[in-house]
Amino acid sequence: MAIPRHLAIIMDGNGRWAENHHLPRVSGHRRGVETVQSIVRSCRELGIGYLTLYAFSSENWGRPEEEVGALMGLLGQFLKSEMETMLARGIRLRVIGETRRLPAPIFHVLDEAVERTAGNREMVLTLALSYGARNELVRAARALAERVAAGVLAADSIDDETFASALDTAEIPDPDLLIRTSGEMRISNFLLWQLAYTELYFTETLWPDFDDDQLQLALKEYGRRQRRFGLTAAQIHGKDREVPH
């Protein structure tokens, strides 16, 4: 079975799961956190080096205040409950997005978790929080423009590598596989730059029901794909070196 170096997941369907079970939406989010814990463990055991989870988008701030508050509370609980597990299993926590928009208590817990796990090397778990890819691209363009204006960067020297270095994900490789649950077939403003050559996998399964068996199905499908990166199949088969992303 092919194992992606970097797996990204859009975790969708918590609210619909709750509605299907005649429960309040927060119950779906709570069950979704349990799925996160399970999938993180599975990915670590499989040897996936990078796992990125779309946990809270910049658009999610527009949800009802009660639901946003519940989501922030669950995030804080997750970070506190999983700290020792991350340390024991060598999982480094990273975060992308406009985290300064998070409530101060949550921001501080998150900052502490990132700092305490910084030395871990077995897997990088990245949470996309208050994240929107268009916003990320705008912030990157603004940062590069400021460097050009300051005279420390020549405009004509900006290439793909330079631009990527200004993104939130500068320290991690682009995803090899993106999974989206719940049957929706779009990427919803997630990693627009980084997903250029990512394999996409969509499943009808709602996130709270996404388990190890579902993960295995996604990985098996990924293993059947041929990643050509714009080249021909003959070129890929004839190359001994890794094709650059």
Q: Which residues are catalytic?
A: 12, 60
Task: Give, in degrees to the nearest 5, the angle at Cα 35 between 16 and 5.
Answer: 115
Contact 35, 211 (CB under 8 A): yes
Token reading at 12: 């969708």
Q: What are phi and psi of 152, to 5 degrees?
A: -100, -5
Q: What are phi and psi of 167, to 5 degrees?
A: -85, 165
Number of Cβ within 10 Å of residue 201's Cβ equals 18
Handedness of CA 171, 44, 132, 214 (dihedral sign): positive
Please, what is the angle between helix 65-88 and helix 104-116, to 10°? 20
Buried b (16+ CB within 10 A) or exposed e, 5-35: ebbbbbbbbbbbbbeeeeeebbbbbbbbbeb
The residue with tokens 């926590």 is: 93
Beta bridge partners of 245: none
